[in-house]
Amino acid sequence: MSNHKALNMFGRSGNPALKADTFSQSARGTSSSGGIQSMDSATMTLQGTVNKTGILLALVVLSATYTWNLFFEGGAGAVMPIAIGGAIVGFIFALITIFKKQWAGTTAPIYALAEGLFLGAISGIFEAQYPGIVIQAVGLTLGTLASLLFLYKTGIVKPTENFRLMITSATMGIALLYLVSMAMNMFGSGGIGFIHSNGLFGIGFSLFVVAIAALNLVLDFDFIEQGSEMGAPKYMEWFGAFSLMVTLIWLYLEMLRLLAKLRSR
């Protein structure tokens, strides 16, 4: 199958993952020693995906630094329009990346820059209220990332179809709960109180959400591992890095919320 045909088939898939035909192109990136994959492959590699994740992380930090500084110089009023704009642009580009994976090389960096603007402002607001909270959330988020990668690579955590069903359902459930809470807030009924409370149930809920966000990382690792094993197209490196970035940003925000609840008690 030609690369072009594979791209077309891949693009038409409504599946969030990959098509069998695309995977079967080759696994040329795998070295005979079973170790590090080569970088010059025309297909998706682990090395390429890790590099691109590093680039997206750097872009997030770059734009976050801008709104972070702006917040501490001009206050919340100066930074909120940029933060809200960043969140909206980020959401739009996330949707484009999901539905047009071939464009991920362009849309994923824009997503990272836009989300960085939002994260910098939110982090500044939390830091002003609870000094030292941001470095704690960053450390714990990256710590979770490294720990789960180790558990995945060594085979201690083994994602199965049932695992995927449970984590996907729980993620959708949390999204549903947040949506209902937002809708209730808009209509002035105060939202679902326990989500934001610093009581035992509120903290328990935040812990549950952090756990689900962390377990989503395992699904991302498995997706990337299989994509590189089966020789998915090169642009899937950007898509894999983007998936990882979406989960990491969610995990970071939930860490911030959890730490804020604990500090406010």
Q: Tell me how far CA of residue 65 lies from CA of 70, 118, 122, in angstroms.
A: 8, 10, 11
* Interface size with another protein, residues (CB under 8 A): 64
The pair of three-digit structure tokens given for residue 18, joined into one six-digit string: 């990959």
Give the CB-side neighbour count of residue 137, counting CA atoms within 13 A.
29
Exposure string (b/e) for 154-167, b if CB count within 10 Å is 16 or more?
A: eeebebeeeeeeeb
Which ranges in the chain belong to alpha helices (H)? 3-12, 20-23, 46-74, 76-99, 104-129, 133-153, 161-186, 193-196, 200-229, 236-264
For another protein, the closer CB: 121 or 134 = 134
For another protein, the closer CB: 19 or 234 = 19
Site track for another protein across 180-219, x = CB under 8 A: x-------------x------x---x-------------x
Name the one range near another protein by CB under 8 A: 71-79, 91-99, 112-120, 221-229. Answer: 221-229
Using CB under 8 A, pick the residue from 227, 233, 242, 261 that binds another protein. Answer: 227
Least separation in angstroms between CB 146 and another protein = 4
Using CB under 8 A, pick the residue from 4, 12, 20, 186 that binds another protein. Answer: 20
**How far apart (Å, rounded) are the C-alpha atoms in residues 95 and 55?**
20
32 binds another protein (CB under 8 A): no
φ/ψ of 227, rounded to 5, equals: -60, -45
159 binds another protein (CB under 8 A): yes
Least separation in angstroms between CB 122 and another protein = 18
Is residue 30 a contact partner of residue 37, using CB atoms and an 8 Å limit?
yes
Which residues sit at the interface with another protein, rule CB under 8 A? 15, 17-20, 23, 30, 34-37, 46-47, 49-50, 53-54, 57, 132, 135-136, 138-140, 142-143, 145-147, 149-150, 152-155, 158-161, 163-166, 168-173, 175-177, 180, 194, 201, 205, 219, 221-223, 225-227, 229
